[in-house]
Structure 1
Amino acid sequence: MAEVAIVIPGIMSSELYDGDVCVWPGEWNELIRPYKKMKHLLKPELEVRDIIRSIHYYGLLGSLISALEACGFSEGAEKGTLMVCPYDWRKDNRVAAERLAECVKQMRARHGADVEINLIAHSMGGLVSRYLLESGDYDDANCPGFSSIRRLITIGTPHRGTPVALCAALGQIDCWYLNGTQVKELAGHEDFPSLYQLMPPLDEPFLWNTDPSARLGPVSPYEKDVAEILGLSVKNLTNAAKFHAALNIERRPPHVMYFCFVGTGQSTIANVQANFAQPQYLNPTGVESASGGDGSVPIWSSSLVGVQQLAVSGSHATLYKTSEVLRTLGALLGKEGVLCTDLKSNLVRISVHDEVVKANAAERIAISMDKPRNELDATLVLRKLVGTEAAPLANPPTLPVAPVTYKGAGIDSLSLTIICPTDPGLYEVDLVVAGLSIAENKPALIVQA
């Protein structure tokens, strides 16, 4: 019997090509300056290639693949036991589920009827996986290997959607390469409904009316008149509602165990509020909850009723890099003790609220400890790794940003706000004591011009 793993990435985490032109991800100068390939990105038919393993010297999903290889899984066309499932993240997640079904078929063909398949999904990839499992559109007849799926492991998946998706669809959120206006343009395209499918479903009251007479009553963006007031795509909202309706934990196949990693410790948008009494002056605002999620997905959305879950302090984009996730993932895959065998105690974990920021912008940093501390005397520093020339700096300058001091009752987390550098580039965030790092991780901070 062979045990295999399929990795399903989240939104914006697969390469897209237009012929020989790499449309996504963009070039380094498009990360720190305006993205120039929107005309390409708006073309419906782009070629999907690999998952995005790294971006400009900063490791992303490649680190998860390396961890799985340490568990004994291996990529390869012949008898490989590890497969990635890139997909066109702009399009309907039901299309992505078709690609996942093809991966399942390939694993069944490679390893035979007694293969055991593990699905490991980050963010939106968990919704793609659940559609495959719960929609009723797939079984062994049209997806040989379906009954061989044993586990779905989700990492930061918005099972109940995330309010920040509405803010993004309204053009309020910048992300990798794209500014808010570009995000809105892409999300509103009727060929690309995936961002709308990340919004909370019809029965989740996440949009509140702040008109005093409404007494914070919920408003549904799925209602046509509300959607038009907000400037949303009615067609994409209808599409999203149908997609959500196909997800039902009660239809989970009995042969599949679910496990959820839940990101915590980060300020996260929990609801969106607007005064609908005067639509012409409408200004929807995402309201954040301190430590309410992973920075993108609220705690209430990243878990499922009746499903095992593990809360992990960390930020959404890199939750799969944390020691708790890796250690637990190894155990779930029958490789207990293989991953994170070199865990060191008394280190801190650093999380950034926004990985991509403007020069001189205020940025929130969260620091979590593996056990309560009564005292801390350290310095938060930024280390510039890449400048505007898209090449690693030979001698990365270290910029002291802020002292981080505390003395008193035991705490296991703290947060602070820094002002980002003026010079654009790729920085890593670190916490040092007497010149030595005490951080388990060093998250990236991309400063745009």
Structure 2
Amino acid sequence: MTRARITDLVVVLPGIMGSRLADADGRAVWDLSGGALLRGLRTFGASLDTLRLPKDIGDADPGDGIVPVGLMPDLHVVPGIWHPVDGYTDLLRWLERHFTLSVSDNLLTFPYDWRLSCRHNAERLKGRIDLELERWRASAPERREARVVFLCHSMGGLIARHYVERLGGHEITRRLITLGTPHRGSPLALAHLVNGERVLGLDLGPFARSLPSLHQLAPDYACMTGPGGLAHARDLPGLPGVDPALLADAARFHADLRSAPPRAELHAVFGVGQPTATTAHYADDRLLLDVGDGDGDGDGDGDGTVPRRAALPTDAAGDDLAGTGSGTPYEQHGSLQNNWGVRNALWGLLGHTPPVPRDEEPLAALLGVEAPALLAAGTPYEVTVTAPHDHLLLTAELCPADGNRAAPRTLHSLGGGRYRAAFPPPEQGAYRLSVGRLTALTLVADR
């Protein structure tokens, strides 16, 4: 197959937890994925003190010797920090297979220390791009006018935006593509900060609350419901768990992005149709998420992690979009980078037409899936699906991340376009749930 020609430099940025981390001696401190994920998380507690950041770190480097060493290849998660995310190996292979791109040549990956602020990592990105673009332009005469195309999943889009919009990166950027980036934050991040999850016997609260990055993922819109209506989390001084200074700084970070003129093409690809928390309220000493029904009407839906309303950047006035929405697949947040509809959108955004146009599958393209991201061992695995209408034959497969045989189930109609299936309690481990071409990710563990 002839590969589509790309003369620009394409740079892939992962989301939070999507970069492998090692200490100064080269020992892995975060490198858990796929079938080894659960076993590794049981010993992850030994790294928590090493990875926890000092108070008031701001945009600085902690000087603890932790360095990013690559992208996560497969399913990964730290429960209590973010929802499960699939890896990036398949995306990189797809790019190399269909375009004249090669890893470490003109297809670069930018792993980063996801604990640190987006500003800090944007400064590192600038240094890397300055070197790599000069190298690429000098490698052949036809590349002298090459520019950079950023392809970013989740938080990676915030880092690239800060570089492009605040550090002069617009001068050499052709296009910034974000996949499921929480441009206006996500209530999920705020809930993890406030609630301080305890998972697998590990108290993740102090670690999570030390991260500037997690605060920068908190909602930058009025998301807290109360007697007086909706309020910004930063305006609620009694909200426990969050670091007020980090939350206030996160608000400045987002304000800086809103006030920057859109000087480079920004295309936001995001998932819809999945039940997604859009607002939250505080009760019984916990932050409780208010989840929409995922009916795809634009109010209360998203990709299961990032609400639709937060997946597009806005300008300083908060009314007009600062980017273009390109592609809205029915897909969960952690699998957007591997969704076939997203891949088709990427063809156009990289300047080419797919060699063989693919008709959208009406059934697979309109499914909303509700399934647990973390399941206690011994608990049946229940899946609820919303579909365009009743009387469909729907099946789901729960596949272990280690590649063992999937367990299929037929979903039963509940009426009103809703379907349900229940799997027997799975063995402990990491799993992918597939309904049509839509994927959800789950970790089964004793808590």
Written as runs of structure 1 = structure 2, the 5 A alignment for 1:378-397 is: 378-384=394-400, 386=402, 393=404, 396=405
Question: Which one of 151, 166, 180 corresponds to residue 120 of structure 1?
Answer: 151
What is residue 186 of structure 1 aligned with on the other side? 207
Cα distance between partner residues in 2 of 1:52 and 1:16: 10
Question: Which one of 286, 291, 295 corresponds to residue 288 of structure 1?
Answer: 291
The answer to whether structure 1 residue 66 and structure 2 residue 97 are counterparts is no
- 2:334/2:440 contact within 8 Å kept: no
What is residue 141 of structure 2 aligned with on the other side? none
Secondary structure (helix, strand or coil) at the match of 1:336 reads: coil
Cα distance between partner residues in 2 of 1:331 and 1:97: 26
Secondary structure (helix, strand or coil) at the match of 2:17 reads: coil
Question: Which one of 89, 93, 112 corresponds to residue 118 of structure 2?
Answer: 93
Written as runs of structure 1 = structure 2, the 5 A alignment for 1:160-179 is: 160-171=184-195
What is residue 31 of structure 2 aligned with on the other side? 25
The answer to whether structure 1 residue 3 and structure 2 residue 27 are counterparts is no
Cα distance between partner residues in 2 of 1:231 and 1:172: 7
What is residue 230 of structure 1 aligned with on the other side? 240
Amino acid at match of 2:90: S
Amino acid at match of 1:267: P
How far 1:30 moved relative to its partner?
A: 3.5
- 1:16/1:88 contact within 8 Å kept: yes
Question: Which one of 314, 317, 340 corresponds to residue 331 of structure 2?
Answer: 314
The answer to whether structure 1 residue 263 and structure 2 residue 271 are counterparts is yes
Taking a change above 3 Å as real, the CA distance of residues 89 and 368 of structure 1, as seen in their structure-2 partners, is same
Question: Which one of 292, 301, 310 corresponds to residue 301 of structure 1?
Answer: 310
Cα distance between partner residues in 2 of 1:59 and 1:274: 31
The answer to whether structure 1 residue 448 and structure 2 residue 442 are counterparts is no
Cα distance between partner residues in 2 of 1:180 and 1:10: 25
Taking a change above 3 Å as real, the CA distance of residues 441 and 73 of structure 1, as seen in their structure-2 partners, is farther
Amino acid at match of 1:258: L
Secondary structure (helix, strand or coil) at the match of 1:300 reads: helix
Cα distance between partner residues in 1 of 2:332 and 2:438: 12
The answer to whether structure 1 residue 103 and structure 2 residue 113 are counterparts is no
How far 1:162 moved relative to its partner?
A: 1.1
What is residue 435 of structure 1 aligned with on the other side? none
How far 1:6 moved relative to its partner?
A: 0.6
TM-score after normalising by structure 2: 0.78
Q: Deviations over 1:403-427 (max 9, x none)?
A: 3244999x6xx45363662521233
Q: 326-335 vs 68-77, which deviates more? A: 68-77
Secondary structure (helix, strand or coil) at the match of 2:242 reads: coil
How far 1:329 moved relative to its partner?
A: 0.4
The answer to whether structure 1 residue 330 and structure 2 residue 347 are counterparts is yes
Secondary structure (helix, strand or coil) at the match of 1:109 reads: helix
Amino acid at match of 1:28: L
Question: Which one of 45, 50, 69 corresponds to residue 49 of structure 1?
Answer: 69
Cα distance between partner residues in 2 of 1:363 and 1:270: 25
Structure 2: tracts of 5 or more residues without a match: 1-5, 54-61, 77-84, 138-143, 295-300, 314-320
Secondary structure (helix, strand or coil) at the match of 1:196 reads: helix
Secondary structure (helix, strand or coil) at the match of 2:286 reads: coil
What is residue 359 of structure 1 aligned with on the other side? 377
How far 1:248 moved relative to its partner?
A: 1.6
TM-score after normalising by structure 1: 0.78
How far 1:312 moved relative to its partner?
A: 1.2
What is residue 425 of structure 1 aligned with on the other side? 429
Cα distance between partner residues in 2 of 1:183 and 1:241: 24
Amino acid at match of 2:396: L
Q: What percent identity do the matched residue pairs reach?
A: 24
- 1:120/1:152 contact within 8 Å kept: yes
- 1:169/1:183 contact within 8 Å kept: no
Structure 1: tracts of 5 or more residues without a match: 276-280, 387-391, 432-438
How far 1:249 moved relative to its partner?
A: 6.2
Secondary structure (helix, strand or coil) at the match of 1:258 reads: strand
Amino acid at match of 2:422: I
Amino acid at match of 2:150: L
Taking a change above 3 Å as real, the CA distance of residues 301 and 109 of structure 1, as seen in their structure-2 partners, is same
Q: Deviations over 1:239-277 (max 9, x none)?
A: 212211211265121xx21111121121111111125xx
Q: Deviations over 1:36-71 (max 9, x none)?
A: 321232264311110112248x96111111121123
Q: Deviations over 1:66-86 (max 9, x none)?
A: 121123243354xx1110111
- 2:154/2:180 contact within 8 Å kept: yes
Secondary structure (helix, strand or coil) at the match of 2:160 reads: helix
Cα distance between partner residues in 1 of 2:341 and 2:401: 27
Cα distance between partner residues in 2 of 1:180 and 1:167: 19
How far 1:32 moved relative to its partner?
A: 6.4
Instruction: Name the Cα RMSD after superposition.
Output: 3.2
The answer to whether structure 1 residue 75 and structure 2 residue 80 are counterparts is no
